[in-house]
Structure formats: C-alpha cells, structure tokens
Amino acid sequence: MKLTGLTMAGLLVAGAAFANTVVPDEVSFGEYGAVEASLSGTEGNADKGREIFSTKSMGNCVSCHQVSQLSDVPFQGEVGPPLGGVGEYRSAAELRGIVANAKMTFEGTVMPAFYKTSGFIRPGDGYTGKAAKEPIEPILSAQDIEDVVAFLMTLKEN
C-alpha cells in the first residue's frame, strides 16, 4: 500500500483514539456495575448505535430485547426486558456498565458481556465453532459501546 497523506492522517487519528481507549481488562466498574468514564474518549453516535443494536453480526441486542421505537426491525426477542424507556430511568454510566459487562450489574444474568476478553470457557472464533484466535477481541469495540449507549439514551418515550 502506498502511504498517502490521507491514510497517514487516518492512522494518526486511529492512534490518537486508541490512546484514550480503556482496554476491557481495565474497565473500572462501580459498586453497582456502572462505568463512569467513556471507554473510547469519543462521544457516541446514536445512529450508529441503533445499527449495532439491530444487526445480527454486531450487537444483535434485538434477539433478546424489544424496542418499540425500532418498529422497522423484525423479530424482536423476549429473553431480556423491553428497553423502550430505558433512557429515562438509567444513566449513561449505568448503561455503559450494563452493555460492557451486565454481570457486574445483574449477577449471573443471561445477558452476554460485550466488552470482555478473558475468563471464557472454550471461546470460539465468531460463529465458526472453531477455537478463538488469540488475542480475543471483545464482541463490541469501545466506540461501539459508546454508540450503543448513546442510542439507549435516546429511548425515552414509551
């Protein structure tokens, strides 16, 4: 690849974003599971978060949660509670903690941890059924989590 000025700039931005990123093993959870500080240092994008929430290969949150505001997304699941009003009664810090690792808020919950890279039993490589390649990547990136949290904060009317 030829390094143009543009890709150089891109690399520099990525490097800068990475510098502010909190890696999964170093996320600091409060007593009740909330995470105060942004994981990426960059504000979340609610539109992007909406897509991550609804897309199978990304967060796939709709497999377990109904969201009345997402009437265009078919097949919303019922394993978790409906989230139509969650931005009303949860703070961004609480939501960040729940999405990063819901087990810190709800002990033993069925909800997967989306920002975690260690402590798994037989981790796999995506949906291939084969062993995971090291190092294990979290299911969602730091910025993905911030985007999802931004989206959840918009869920107010129910």
Residues near ligand HEC, by CB under 6 A: 53, 59-61, 63-65, 79-81, 83, 86, 90, 95, 98-99, 102, 106, 109-112, 114, 148, 152
Query: In the complex with ligand HEC, which residue's Cβ is closer, 6 or 149?
Result: 149
The option from another protein, ligand HEC, none interacting with 127 (CB < 5 to 8 A, set by class) reads another protein
- Residue in this structure with the two tokens 């897309």, named with its chain if needed: 55
Burial of 29 (0-12, 13-18, 19+ CB in 10 A): middle
Maximum pairwise Cα distance, the chain: 51
Q: How far apart are CA 9 and CA 11, in angstroms?
A: 5
Phi/psi of residue 145, nearest 5 degrees: -65, -45
Q: How far apart are CA 10 and CA 30, in angstroms?
A: 34
The option from ligand HEC, another protein, none interacting with 59 (CB < 5 to 8 A, set by class) reads ligand HEC
CB of 19 to another protein, least distance (A): 26
Instruction: Please list the residues that pair with 131 across neighbouring strands.
Output: 124
- Interface residues toward another protein, by CB under 8 A: 56, 60, 62-64, 66, 68, 71, 74-79, 82, 84, 110, 112-113, 120-132, 136, 139, 157
Query: In the complex with ligand HEC, which residue's Cβ is closer, 41 or 82?
Result: 82
- Do residues 51 and 64 lie in contact, with contact meaning Cβ atoms separated by under 8 Å? no
CB of 24 to ligand HEC, least distance (A): 14
The option from another protein, ligand HEC, none interacting with 99 (CB < 5 to 8 A, set by class) reads ligand HEC
In degrees to the nearest 10, what's the CA dihedral of 82, 107, 32, 117? -90
Q: How far apart are CA 46 and CA 1, in angstroms?
A: 33
The option from ligand HEC, another protein, none interacting with 115 (CB < 5 to 8 A, set by class) reads none
Query: In the complex with another protein, which residue's Cβ is closer, 93 or 99?
Result: 99
